[in-house]
Chains A and B, each alone.
Chain A
């Protein structure tokens, strides 16, 4: 019989560097999960992404055991990387204009597809392009479907 699920927790934590401090501590500790066990498993699973932001969906079961899935990085982080822009505390990012190509949008969309509620690559690309625009990043050229 499948284990009964108590709750889901979605965190974004630095790859390879999870420790029992917040948010892992309060988010999982309050549910009776062994945080140290989670940190060990998460760090091993994300050691190739050390220091990068790693979304992780954790399933906490009624018996206090857990399981987790590492998701793809946020679309905005991938756009930022593609546009080679860096955000800084003194300059809100929308003042910083960067550029990416539709080919890069496609690459990001393909990477994000497993985690997006999109059935086609085109709708995933529209979503990524929207994120880019909100960030002040222009998508150069004409959309492939235009």
Chain B
């Protein structure tokens, strides 16, 4: 279930007081802020919003400058990325994979076609990290291999694995928008049999070994989950990591060395990196 947010528009005469109020509201659990010349748009999860507490907080600054609540508006969950998603361009990877939306009509043929309707999930191939993961997967034997896609987003990597006859495939994401979107994209691509799980590393089926482990997430999540991912990798299995910056590469290699993993491939593009390690 997506978090519902409330927008509170505050008119604050003095930018220095706006700065203080932002910090104070942040401490109270407000999520984030957009700054305007006339004040702040504050966003808070609707369940945490209490107008009386907000007014009490503002009251302690009204002797310093003029402050007013201009608007309190609950925001309905919606696809905020809809404009971009409605007109994104197809992506061609290594001249072998095309990632396209259902509305794209492509005349050229490619060995692999993945159809993605992103709906606020990550993974359309436009980002360097997704493209590099797919590029690396092109050189991996996937047929009949067990694959884990940890942080699946749109499901793009799991779907590509399924198209290449990998099985079983487990796709995990902590964001319900992503797991729902993975299920939708499986249907669009006529893919069945991917196990889609909502949650973090604890959702990785205990004891199940994967020949290919894919983790295109962030440095912090990769480091926090590394041990679990390693333990779920089959002997001689391969682990692909991306979502990291080139500056993170030495730290990840160092970590992998502690697990006696062998660096097999390294790709970089525009400050982003993809590292592939082999176990055993």
Hey, which bits of chain A sit against chain B, CB under 8 A?
A: 9-14, 16, 19-37, 39-40, 43-45, 47, 50, 53, 55, 64, 74-77, 80, 86-90, 92-95, 127, 130-131, 134-135
Within 8 A of A (CB), among B1-30: 2-3, 5, 7, 16-17, 19-20, 22-24, 26-29
The docked-state distance in angstroms from the alpha carbon of A127 to that of B26 is 21
The docked-state distance in angstroms from the alpha carbon of A95 to that of B118 is 48
Query: Are B83 and A87 within 8 A (Cβ)?
Result: no
Number of interface residues of B (CB under 8 A): 58
Query: Are A30 and B83 within 8 A (Cβ)?
Result: yes
The docked-state distance in angstroms from the alpha carbon of A45 to that of B122 is 17
Beyond A36-B120, A88-B28, 5 additional contacts (C-beta under 8 Å) are A13-B32, A23-B7, A47-B219, A77-B26, A134-B64
Verify if B34 is at the interface (C-beta below 8 Å from A). yes
Query: Are B75 and A22 within 8 A (Cβ)?
Result: yes
Query: Are A76 and B120 within 8 A (Cβ)?
Result: no
Would you give the shortest CB distance from A30 to chain B, in whole angstroms? Answer: 7
Verify if B33 is at the interface (C-beta below 8 Å from A). yes
Among B3, B43, B53, B78, the residue within 8 A (CB) of A89 is B53
Verify if B60 is at the interface (C-beta below 8 Å from A). yes
Total A-B residue pairs with C-beta atoms closer than 8 Å? 155
Residues of A with C-beta under 8 A to B127: 36-37, 40
The docked-state distance in angstroms from the alpha carbon of A50 to that of B223 is 14
Among B7, B35, B53, the residue within 8 A (CB) of A11 is B35
Verify if B258 is at the interface (C-beta below 8 Å from A). no
The docked-state distance in angstroms from the alpha carbon of A53 to that of B53 is 21
With A22-B7, A93-B60 in contact, do A29 and B81 touch (Cβ < 8 Å)?
Answer: yes
Query: Are B19 and A76 within 8 A (Cβ)?
Result: yes
Among A11, A39, A45, A93, the residue within 8 A (CB) of B33 is A11
Query: Are A10 and B27 within 8 A (Cβ)?
Result: no
Query: Are B20 and A131 within 8 A (Cβ)?
Result: yes
Within 8 A of A (CB), among B127-154: 127, 129, 153
Query: Are A27 and B5 within 8 A (Cβ)?
Result: no
Query: Are A36 and B81 within 8 A (Cβ)?
Result: yes
Query: Are A36 and B20 within 8 A (Cβ)?
Result: no
Query: Are A21 and B218 within 8 A (Cβ)?
Result: no
* CB-based nearest A residue for B153: A36
